[in-house]
Structure formats: C-alpha cells, structure tokens
Amino acid sequence: MNLTIDNQRITLDVLRVAWQESITVSLGDNAKSSIATSNELINELVAGGEQVYGVNTGFGQLASVRISDDELAHLQANLVRSHAVGVGEDLDDDIVRLIMFMKVVALAEGFSGVRIELVEMLCAMINHNICPRIPSRGSVGASGDLAPLAHMAGALIGEGEVRVNGSLVPAIIALKDAGLKPINLAPKEGLALLNGTQVSTALSLAAAFRTENLLAAVMMAGAMSSDAIKGSDTPFDKRIQSVRGHAGQIAVAGVLRELMHDSDIRASHEGCDRVQDPYSIRCQPQVIGSCLDVVRHVCSVLETEANAVTDNPLVFTDSKSVLSGGNFHAEPIALAADYLALAIAEIGALSERRIALLIDSHMSGLPAFLVKDGGLNSGFMMAQVTAAALASENKSHAHPASVDSLPTSANQEDHVSMATFAGRRLHNMIDNVADIIAIELLAAAQGIEFHRPKKSSPVIEEVISELREFSPTYEEDRSLSSDIRRVAAIVDDGNYCKYASSVLPSLAT
C-alpha cells in the first residue's frame, strides 16, 4: 500500500495494513507546510535567545539547566544515546513498522517543531524496509515510550542495529546500502522522536487486530460446538437480542445464525425434549458479544491515539507559543489494554468450557473424550487439560497493569501508566487463546463427525474439510500437538475473519 500522509485522519483499516504488510509512505503538501511552519517558529525562538524546554535546556529534573547554542545538536544526540537503554527480546518488525508509521503521522501534524527532512528520513526507512532493533522492555509509558523510541531514533543517526528484510545489520551500513545518510539532529528533534506513545499504541493496536482474529475464530468454533452437542440455535434468535439492545450481542448472534444455517444436524433434533443448553453454548451472544463491544471500544481509543500528537513541548504557530504539557502520558492506552485483557481472557475461558463440555459424555451425548474405544484410547482428555492450563494462565495475565506505578526521574515523573507492558502482555494472552480455540475447533469437528451421515451447515462442513487436510479424524490415540499448532496459526492469521468481517471494527470498512 502506498500512503500519503497529509494531515488526514488515519483509520483502523489503514493501521491494520501498516501492521500486516510492507508499505511505502510519503508526505503531502499540507503536511510539509505544517511541519515547515512549526520548525520555523523553533528556529526563530532559538535565534531570539528564548529559553524553551527541550530545545535549549536539559530534560526532566535538569530542565532548569540552560544549554549553549553551540551544544544544541550535541544535546539532542546525547538524549537519544542516554535513553537507549531497553532490554529484553526485540519487538517484531511488524510492530516496529507500525511504530514508525504512527511517528510519521504525529510529526506530520506540525506541532513538534522538527524539520521536513527528519520526517522524510523516517519515511525513507519505512520504504526501504529498515526496521530499527527495538528491545521490548524498559518503558513505563509516562514521558512517552522513551527507551524504545530512543532505539528507533538511534537508527536515524546511524547508531545501533536494524533489520532489513529480516536480517540484522548495523544501522550505518543499512542506511548506506539504501542510499541514505544519517541525520544530524536539530534543536528539539531528539525530544520529539523520544516523547510519544507510539510503542504502547502499536503493541495494543496489534493486539486488538489479533483479538479480532480470535473473535472470528471463536464464533466459528462456538457454532461448531453447538452443532456437535445437538444444541439449539433458539438462543441466537434476533428477537432475544433486540430486547436487551447491546450491539455486540446482536452482531454475534447474527454471525452464529449465519454459520449454523441449513445444518442437517440441527434439523434432525428440532423436536427433541432438551429445554436448555449449558451457558457456554446458550450465552455465546452475551459473552462473546460483550467481548466484541470491548474490542470496538478499545479500537476507538487506539485509533484516536494513533492520530494524536503526544510529544512535548508542543508548538502552536498561530499564537507563537511553545507549551509544555503531558500528552505523552499513556494512561488512555494502559486502561484500554487492561480492558482488552479481560476480553481476551473471557474469549479463552468460554472456549475452554465448551471443550470440557464436548468431552463429557453425560453433557454432550458424544463418546467420552471424543474417541471410540475409550479406556484403550484417551482421546481429547489431555487436550482439554492443556486448554484449562492456558485459560488459567490468562487469569494472571489479565491483572491490570495500569494500577501499578513506580515514580521515576527523581520523582519528577511521579505517576506512570505502565502502558507498554499493558500492551505487550496481551500478545502472550492471545497466543494462549489461539491454542485454546484451535483445540476447540479440532474437538468440535470430531464431535460433528460422530453424527455422520448427517452434516452440519455448508460453511461449517467447509471448515471441517479444511481441517481434515492436515488433521485426520481421531480414530486412535496420537499426539495432537502439531495439529494444535497448525490450527492456532490459522486462527492467528485471521483465516476465519471472512465469516465475520462485517462485525469486526478494522475490517467492517
């Protein structure tokens, strides 16, 4: 995708593309004009001898220290070097690309005082698939994501390491190979690069997009499990949802009805004496619908933040003012990520309960543990144990990160958001839920096949056929580990989104 940044609002679908695939980015005329006007004011203030925080002063508790004009470039480079103290595993390149893209969007608004060439350098690195090596740990999400963004900024000045098409090389070499020269930072530019919530936001956005993939897959798995136990689709009736009124509930029920439409299995027991199914079947619209509402809310918050200017101080050219505030504090992201964690945990919890239901012959009416010759064969017994372990692990991960705060910078930054960790930990939770849903998909497919020659809906039968291409029907005990991994990858890749794209916020457009 070729993207021109020209002060327009960047929508969720564009952000999803920037995360998923390589893009090329350029600046439009409006963006260039906004950037240039802002930079002119910074140059004017410096030439006039005015003291401006972060331009000709120290940083944080050292803000009262005046820096001489001949040291201003050195000041910005020192800021980048001193703050590049991240540790831990590196962020994935798709996350880094999204970080850089959102930094371009923010700087292009023209409130940061940087030069056009700095923003164009970021664009050029994106266009050449140069992704700075950014350690994932070391940000408290307060004065922006300082440490990780310092590693990004280091690459612009030719320091540190980068990945080019997956290969790790020194930044100075990668820039040279791409025909680029390291940039010499001008007043305020190091600070503008380091201040900002782009890392927290990218981590949380990517998690939100991955959660959409989970939602699509869990609706498919839930529909399959419903048919496998000969459950009723009456609880998904439109009239039931409409009298409660929650949008997510209404949307999920609609998807479930479509997925189960024209099922021979459903038609075969319409007159049965079962009155009610267990909640994990019957209450899918209420539970998964609530999770969908959470994802929609979180996506709205993150879309706003992706378009926000979050560095400090900010340059307002209309009044010729440079104002110091706190837009870099990532509390909105931390709270949104914590909210999303609850939804992710609940998606996995409901799926695990349906796996437990499927293997329980007294509740499901299916052979115990979904296998013939039970006793000789253990079937899906341990697969459910794995799902239970993962669902339980997510309970701990769901503990809110935003309620924790440790003061930093000699108590100047006395309340921090922990948004970076809040967003980062979501990905472990999503990995767990993808595995849980994979187990349910395999178990539900097995359950449906016990009803042969009756068939489920055409859509569900298509999914079962796709699963059987690499995971044969479970006839006798074998390891399911590789099957689970493969199905989890299909879930995480968003293969089931085509069945629910109309209700997912980043895909509905």
Q: Say how far residue 500 (Cα) sits from the centre of its chain.
A: 18
Measured distance CA(201)–CA(198) in Å, rounded: 5
Residue type, 439: I
What is the set of active-site residues? 53
Number of neighbouring beta carbons within 10 Å of residue 45? 20
Residues present in the chain in total: 509
Question: Which tokens in the block code for residue 267?
Answer: 């038609």
**346 and 432 Cβ atoms separated by less than 8 Å:** no
CA distance 172 to 188: 23
Query: Could you say which DSSP state residue 496 is in?
Result: T
Closest CA to 79 of 157, 176, 163, 135: 157
Which tokens in the block code for residue 310? 């979050």
Give the gyration radius of the chain's Cα atoms: 26
In the block, tokens 């090329």 appear at 24
Distances (CA, A) of 234 to 241, 260, 284, 374, 473: 11, 11, 12, 33, 29
The residue type at 221: A
Tell me the C-alpha distance between 392 and 42, whole Å: 53
The HSE-up count of residue 331 (CA atoms within 13 Å, CB side) is: 8
Backbone phi, psi, residue 14, to 5°: -70, -40
Contact predicate 135/86, CB 8 Å: yes
Q: Which two tokens stand for residue 337?
A: 């990520």
Cβ atoms 291, 255 nearer than 8 A = no
DSSP letter at 71 equals G
Cβ neighbours around 90 below 10 Å, total: 18
Q: Are the beta carbons of 24 and 127 closer than 8 angstroms? A: yes
